[in-house]
A and B are shown apart, each in its own frame.
Chain A
Amino acid sequence: NAGVTQTPKFRVLKTGQSMTLLCAQDMNHEYMYWYRQDPGMGLRLIHYSVGEGTTAKGEVPDGYNVSRLKKQNFLLGLESAAPSQTSVYFCASSYFLDPTYEQYFGPGTRLTVT
């Protein structure tokens, strides 16, 4: 079991460029999440999904889009990157029958927008 994996691990973008971050999980989890973490901050939810083909907005969704075409994958897109989107992005997943609601995190993607 690889758990939750994220691609790429690091990326540098110029303002206005676009990119897609890929999250994959092999635990057959229904729920998947995208967070961003900035220095000295907790995690802020960008978007989440409760199942294949569904997505919903979190607390900081502006400037991001997501898709969940397959249960195991959750993609985060930046259409026109801005320096304010420089951050560490974490993907997480959880199992809908797990009573603890534990979230399993990927290793993160460090994104710098210049």
Chain B
Amino acid sequence: GQQVMQIPQYQHVQEGEDFTTYCNSSTTLSNIQWYKQRPGGHPVFLIQLVKSGEVKKQKRLTFQFGEAKKNSSLHITATQTTDVGTYFCAPPLVGNNRKLIWGLGTSLAVNP
């Protein structure tokens, strides 16, 4: 079945270092969403990418959608302690845009 893999599973950085998480799909995607979940919290929508090769920025966060629409990445520049949490990519199930397939997430820890 359709699968999505995220790497790395965990990442420990010093505050101020950059961070990148990658999401790879077994199938070509129509779009992909990214969510952030703080420890003890619930997932919160960050962004949706739709177009091949699309790059979107939100302050220190840069999201990319691969040219083949089978992979995506999230890059955080100069991490802060407020970036701590788990980042999930969640593309829709092929043929049903309303059902999401969730990656296992990348847990980010930031040392002050």
Contacts and interface: CB of A to CB of B under 8 A. Distances in A.
| A and B: interacting chains | yes
Interface of A: 31, 40-45, 48, 50, 58, 90, 92, 94, 100-108
Nearest to A58: B99
B45 A42 contact: no
A48 B99 contact: yes
Contacts of A31: 98
Interface string B24-39: 0000000101000000
B111 to A, nearest CB: 21
B85 interface: no
B102 A103 contact: no
Contacts of B65: none
Contacts, number: 49
A100 B35 CA distance: 12
Interface of B: 31, 33, 41-45, 48, 88, 90, 92, 97-100, 102-105
B42 A107 contact: yes
A69 to B, nearest CB: 20
Contact of B102 (A43, A102, A104): A43
B48 A100 contact: yes
Given A42-B88, A100-B33, A105 B42 contact: yes
Most buried by A among B41, B90, B102, B103: B102
B43 A41 contact: no
Most buried by B among A94, A101, A104: A101
11 contacts: A40-B104, A43-B43, A44-B102, A48-B99, A90-B42, A101-B33, A101-B100, A102-B33, A103-B33, A105-B44, A107-B41
Nearest to B48: A100
B43 A105 contact: yes
